[in-house]
Amino acid sequence: MVLARRAKIVGNLLWRAVQDSGFKQPSDVNKHSCQCYVTVPESSELPKKLKTSERKPLVRSINELKREARQKKKDRQKVHEIILEPPENGMLVKQLIPVAHEVCAARHELLSIVSRLVKHIAIYTCSLCGEAHVGHPPHKIKSCNVRGSLSSKQHSWVRGGVEHILPTVESFHLYDRVGRAVSHNEMLQVDRIPAIVELCVQAGVDIPEYPTRRRAFPVYCLAGRIIDFEKRFPKDISPTEHIDASGFWHEIKRVNRGVNSMELYYNDIQGFGAPLAVKGLKAWEKMCTGASKLMEKFAVQTCGYCPEVQVGPKGHRVRNCQAFKHQMRDGQHAWQEATINDLVPPVYVYHIQDPQSNEPLVNGLKRYYGMLPAVVELFAQAGAPVGKKYGSTMRKDVVIPKLDEAKWVV
């Protein structure tokens, strides 16, 4: 009893000394304990890959979606006008027009910088599973587990390009976003353009190759039906001018180069590429943040089982879904609200802390390696400082041990 009372007194004295030094008490620390805890940033895990039978998580809960659908059904039964706000009424949101121009300019700048950096930093992709890797040499982690892969689960690396670290998600270009959806018979008649470009066009960016309808007066919704009092088509644009059947068949020419066809000089890229990489990282963040602001007002739909995306208030009616149980849907997509990761899908790759070491990442230490989006990893290897935003996935607080010391790590 005496020893316990003395220990309690000593603990209280120590805690008072700590309080006098300016230390703030965490919520999980006992006031009568003499132990002090230092909080360190924990390493966050990346979102797990969904199975082919799993659906993408919904942005809003299913109960909220059902409640909204019931309310819309009640509104359609009443013959009264439903007041629509921009952009549902066909008008532009004036505050978001400069944001759309910034996103479009940031995308062009990002593609220009990435196309220059990939000439000096190697990009590898697996010919079997499609996994990407930034830097030379490629890693030796045995994670290739698809049909037709090797029994050792090692990747079959080939040279990649910009499309492997910055994939393009396409969407049908809509001449009138308030009009009807694209039908299955019009699949080869309507152009497909990058979804983020289509989002910028609908938000106010004018591109001569892809004209869109700009209204001077809003549309009205009466008992669930859209009524447009303007002329159907302007005088200077014909209704079929935007249709170009050949635009759908344009494909990116992918050149498969040899693995050892280029030598890398990281000292050179660190010298001239650092300012370029910093500029590219800012363009990447500006494009993502600006697209997120646009998606708060302009609806974007995605399929719950496949990567198909349609920019607009409703999804298209093309029956080309080949995902889980598409036979029961007659090939139609299971449309739901999209996120920024559906519009700009991040390709996560392993982060290399020291690109000059020229030592590949080994399979025995894969749990100690951090990961980054492929574009951010490209800029990091070019000399751009990565901020605290990606610090948890990079695992900066984890020290990579040597291979013979890994078995002693607790």
How high is the pLDDT of residue 231? 54
Taking alpha carbons only, the member of 408, 345, 354, 399 closest to residue 381 is: 354
Residue 193 C-alpha from the chain's centroid: 17
pLDDT in tens, 209-225: 999 999 888 988 887 78
Least confident of 107-111, 187-191, 221-225: 221-225
How high is the pLDDT of residue 82? 80
Q: What is the mean pLDDT of residues 81-95?
A: 90
How high is the pLDDT of residue 334? 94
Please check whether residue 342 is in contact with residue 304, taking contact to mean a CB–CB distance below 8 angstroms: no
Q: What is the mean pLDDT of residues 155-168?
A: 94
pLDDT band for 44, please (50, 70, 90 cuts): low
- Cα-based torsion angle of the residue sequence 334, 338, 339, 343 in order, rounded to the nearest 10 degrees: 100
CA separation for the pair 20, 24 (Å, rounded) = 10
pLDDT, greater one: 39 or 204:
204
How high is the pLDDT of residue 10? 52
Q: What is the mean pLDDT of the chain?
A: 80
pLDDT in tens, 400-409: 777 666 566 6
pLDDT in tens, 385-399: 987 888 878 887 777
Q: What is the mean pLDDT of residues 8-30?
A: 50
How high is the pLDDT of residue 262? 37
How high is the pLDDT of residue 264? 38
pLDDT, greater one: 32 or 348:
348
CA separation for the pair 124, 141 (Å, rounded) = 14
How high is the pLDDT of residue 272? 54
Helices (H), 56-152: 62-77, 97-117
Q: Is the pLDDT of residue 105 over 70?
A: yes
Find the distance separating the first CA and the last CA of the chain, reported in whole Å: 37
pLDDT, greater one: 76 or 247:
76
Q: What is the mean pLDDT of residues 42-62?
A: 80
What is the DSSP-derived secondary structure letter of residue 241?
A: T
Q: Is the pLDDT of residue 98 over 50?
A: yes
Report percent pLDDT > 90 for the chain: 50
| Amino acid at residue number 338 | A
Q: Is the pLDDT of residue 303 over 80?
A: yes
Q: What is the mean pLDDT of residues 223-243?
A: 58
pLDDT, greater one: 386 or 199:
199
Q: What is the mean pLDDT of residues 222-240?
A: 62
How high is the pLDDT of residue 39? 34
Q: What is the mean pLDDT of residues 353-373?
A: 87
Q: Where are the domains of the chain?
A: 76-297+347-394
Taking alpha carbons only, the member of 140, 120, 123 closest to residue 132 is: 123
Q: Is the pLDDT of residue 356 over 90?
A: no
Q: Is the pLDDT of residue 259 over 50?
A: no
Residues sharing a CB contact under 8 Å with residue 323, sequence separation 6 or more, in sequence order: 52, 303, 305, 306
How high is the pLDDT of residue 302? 96
CA separation for the pair 170, 359 (Å, rounded) = 37
Please check whether residue 178 is in contact with residue 90, taking contact to mean a CB–CB distance below 8 angstroms: yes
